[in-house]
């Protein structure tokens, strides 16, 4: 859930600040990028140098930096825009009160007021402070703004008392945030099949029939589905690409027949299938066991049809939302709509080799999405990660309709 996220950690001045060293380590281990803003009083409880070392970013405490005769400033607006989420931990009674009432007397509070992202806060204070009506009023006001409280835990407090008020343990904070994010993900609980890359059809031990597909579009679709909460089966032909997401199962294949088998092995259980692979339509009828030597005259290779993976999935379709790709060079819209109907698809992604920046090999694509009702939406040239987002937006709007 936190892989690749920009997390802004705000640390206020309470004894629980010492736990933030462990919290930062867990955030980094989860794959997040972490920047830290702390109050001056927080630095009495935990070393800024330690946090800077763990986060691999400078720790910010003041609006203005003076070093070696030069002056620079920490841009709280820029920090607020950088963050995918902000976490204030520990959130003391003093800091929560200021957050609730818009008091802006330090860099942490200025950054909080500038944040456009979801904000989580983890209260930490002694029992009587936690139970005080003013603290409850601050919490209620912060939650009314849309901020999310990570409840304090019970246990031994710094005063020696036992009760509520302990900041949640770092691993529990991580778990809370991940669970909260997961509940809002549109593909949570869904299983997705995606095909990617080319297929290679062997001629002899060293030669094959193939195409220029890199697999980049299919891999971006898989990564986006994963970030939206899905369990992904990514069936990829030969490609240099790799993916390291815990909820993406990568199955590598070589030929169209292998891809056919891998797709049908999971198809019955999936909710969405996107066939983005450039599958070879034909394969050599016979494969030489030894390298074919050059001879005088021409050479002829007899080809036979490969199984039509997309058509077979369309014919077997039950609950699945099935999307295909159409890479065309002429009569683009007519051919795409024909494929959509002929192969029993719910949607088709059309790209034309006539559009500069579209198709194989580059970092961009230009697509048109057509659904089974022949509703057409054309997008501008975008990067492939952006195209993957657009495709999933179109699919999600239809499966949740």
Averaged pLDDT of the chain: 93
44 within 8 A of 13, measured Cβ to Cβ: yes
Write down the pLDDT at residue 271.
Answer: 98
pLDDT tens per residue, range 138-179: 999 999 999 999 999 998 878 777 888 899 999 999 999 999
Residue 354 has pLDDT above 80, yes or no: no
Residue 359 has pLDDT above 70, yes or no: no
Write down the pLDDT at residue 327.
Answer: 85
Question: Which of residues 225 and 64 earns the better pLDDT score?
Answer: 225
Give catalytic residue positions: 211
Share of the chain above pLDDT 70, in %: 97
Residue 397 has pLDDT above 80, yes or no: yes
Share of the chain above pLDDT 90, in %: 82
Topology of domain 191-287+300-399 in CATH is Rossmann fold (3.40.50)
Our separate counts of H helices and E strands in the chain read 13, 24
Spatial separation of the C-alpha atoms in residues 64 and 61, rounded to whole Å? 9
Task: Please choose, from the candidates 330, 311, 245, 328, the residue with its C-alpha nearest in 3D space to the C-alpha of residue 273.
Answer: 311
Q: Mean pLDDT across the stretch 200-204? A: 97
At 253 the three-state DSSP class reads coil
Burial of residue 71, with CB atoms counted within 10 A of its CB: 0-12 exposed, 13-18 middle, 19 or more buried: exposed
Write down the pLDDT at residue 400.
Answer: 83
Domain positions in the chain: 6-183, 191-287+300-399
Write down the pLDDT at residue 244.
Answer: 87
Cβ neighbours for 137, distance < 8 A, ≥ 6 positions apart: 100
33 within 8 A of 27, measured Cβ to Cβ: no
Give the Cβ contact number of residue 331 at 10 Å.
10
pLDDT band at 228 (very low <50, low <70, confident <90, very high): very high
pLDDT band at 361 (very low <50, low <70, confident <90, very high): low
Quick one: DSSP state of residue 14? S
pLDDT tens per residue, range 116-143: 999 999 999 999 999 999 999 999 999 9
218 within 8 A of 194, measured Cβ to Cβ: yes
Is there a shared CATH topology between the 6-183 domain and the 191-287+300-399 domain?
Answer: yes
Q: H or E segment at 208?
A: strand 208-209
Class of the CATH-defined domain 6-183: alpha beta
- Give the pair of three-digit tokens for residue 242: 């790799």
Write down the pLDDT at residue 69.
Answer: 65
CA–CA distances in Å: residue 385 to residues 98, 120, 141, 192, 240:
39, 28, 38, 17, 18
Question: Phi and psi dihedrals of 92, rounded to 5?
Answer: -75, 165
Residue 362 has pLDDT above 90, yes or no: no
Spatial separation of the C-alpha atoms in residues 388 and 381, rounded to whole Å? 12
Write down the pLDDT at residue 401.
Answer: 67
């Amino acid at each position: 859930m936190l892989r690749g996220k920009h997390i802004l950690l705000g640390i206020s001045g309470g004894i629980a600040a010492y736990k933030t060293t462990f919290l930062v380590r867990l955030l980094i281990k989860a794959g997040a990028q972490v920047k830290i803003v702390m109050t001056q009083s927080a630095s009495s409880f935990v070393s800024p140098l330690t946090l800077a070392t763990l986060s691999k970013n400078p720790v910010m405490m003041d609006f203005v930096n003076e070093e070696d005769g030069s002056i620079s400033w920490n841009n709280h607006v820029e920090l607020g825009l950088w963050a995918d989420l902000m976490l204030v931990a520990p959130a003391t009674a003093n800091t929560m009160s200021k957050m609730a009432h818009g008091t802006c007397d330090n860099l942490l509070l200025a950054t909080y007021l500038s944040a456009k992202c979801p904000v989580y806060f983890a209260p930490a204070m002694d029992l009587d402070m936690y139970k005080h009506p003013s603290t409850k009023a601050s919490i209620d006001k912060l939650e009314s703004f849309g901020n999310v409280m990570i409840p304090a835990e019970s246990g031994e407090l710094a005063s020696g008392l036992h009760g509520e008020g302990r900041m949640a343990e770092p691993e529990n904070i991580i778990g809370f945030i991940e669970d909260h994010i997961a509940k809002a993900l549109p593909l949570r609980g869904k299983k997705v099949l995606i095909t990617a890359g080319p297929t290679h059809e062997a001629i002899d031990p060293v030669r094959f029939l193939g195409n220029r597909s890199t697999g980049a579009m299919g891999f971006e679709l898989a990564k986006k589905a994963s970030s939206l909460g899905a369990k992904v089966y990514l069936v990829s032909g030969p490609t240099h690409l790799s993916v390291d997401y815990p909820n993406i199962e990568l199955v590598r294949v070589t030929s169209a027949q292998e891809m056919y088998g891998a797709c049908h092995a999971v198809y019955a259980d999936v909710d969405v299938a996107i066939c983005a692979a450039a599958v070879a339509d034909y394969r050599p009828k016979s494969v030489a066991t030894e390298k074919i030597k050059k001879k005088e005259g021409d050479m002829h290779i007899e080809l036979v049809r490969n199984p039509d993976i997309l058509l077979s999935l369309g014919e077997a379709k039950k609950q699945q939302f099935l999307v295909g790709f159409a890479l065309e060079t002429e009569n683009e819209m007519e051919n795409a709509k024909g494929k959509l109907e002929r192969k029993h698809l719910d949607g088709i992604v059309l790209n034309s080799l006539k559009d500069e920046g579209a198709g194989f090999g580059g970092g961009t694509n230009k697509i048109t999405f057509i659904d089974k009702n022949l509703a057409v939406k054309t997008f501008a040239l975008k990067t492939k990660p952006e195209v993957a987002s657009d495709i999933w937006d179109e699919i999600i709007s239809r499966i949740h309709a």
